[in-house]
């Protein structure tokens, strides 16, 4: 899987993969040593899960992290956002196959945008926060529209809406 993700990212001439990690422990060590602009990390990793590694990265060396998770458990994406991930990509379900190439554009776009997030400011404020609901809901006569917007601190509210 690491090799496929590297190939996807390096297919863009503006992205350089500086290293890969076999597990969560190695990921935490390499982020502290290499200070990459952005990290992509699977939630399912040996020895230390991606979520645990994410928590360590955010506390030791805050870095924009994009979490990769399977379609069969989108709840993990919400938990990753609560722990400080700047975004997530849902991997195609099934075996490791050519389906992973379906997420190429999404992953590349998110990797390019992630370094723009002021991660240190986000960590200083606290990863999650909540705002009071609007007092007057916006209405469109004759139409039913549901719009959900989430930003830093929004994962908990989004999780509440979708539960």
Residue 6 is assigned to a structural domain of this protein: yes
Intervals of the chain under pLDDT 70: 71, 93-98, 123-147, 151-157, 160-163
pLDDT of residue 130: 43
Total domains in the chain come to 1
State whether residue 88 is helix, strand or coil: strand
pLDDT of residue 146: 67
Instruction: Look at the block and give the residue holding tokens 């422990």.
Output: 25
pLDDT of residue 24: 93
Domain that holds residue 91: 2-124
pLDDT of residue 129: 42
Q: Is the pTM value of this prediction over 0.85?
A: no
The b-or-e profile of 53-82 (16+ CB within 10 A means b, else e) is bbbbbbeebbbbbbbbbbeeeeebbbbbbb
Domain of 100, CATH number, reads 3.40.50.2300
Residue 41 is assigned to a structural domain of this protein: yes
Residue 137 is assigned to a structural domain of this protein: no
Residue 50 is assigned to a structural domain of this protein: yes
């Amino acid at each position: 899987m690491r090799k496929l993700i590297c190939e996807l990212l390096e297919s863009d001439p503006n992205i350089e993969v500086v290293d890969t990690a076999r597990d969560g422990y190695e990921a935490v060590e390499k982020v502290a040593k290499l200070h990459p602009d952005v990290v992509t990390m699977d939630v399912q990793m040996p020895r230390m899960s991606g979520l645990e590694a994410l928590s360590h990265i955010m506390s030791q060396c805050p870095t924009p992290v994009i979490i990769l998770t399977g379609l069969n458990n989108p709840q993990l994406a919400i938990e990753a956002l609560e722990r400080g991930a700047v975004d997530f990509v849902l991997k195609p379900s099934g075996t490791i196959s050519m389906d992973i190439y379906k997420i190429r554009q999404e992953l590349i776009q998110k990797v390019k945008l992630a370094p723009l997030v002021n991660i240190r400011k986000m960590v200083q404020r606290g990863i999650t926060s909540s705002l009071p609901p609007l007092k007057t809901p916006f209405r469109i006569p004759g139409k039913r529209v549901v719009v959900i917007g989430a930003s830093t601190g929004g994962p908990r509210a989004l999780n509440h809406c979708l539960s």
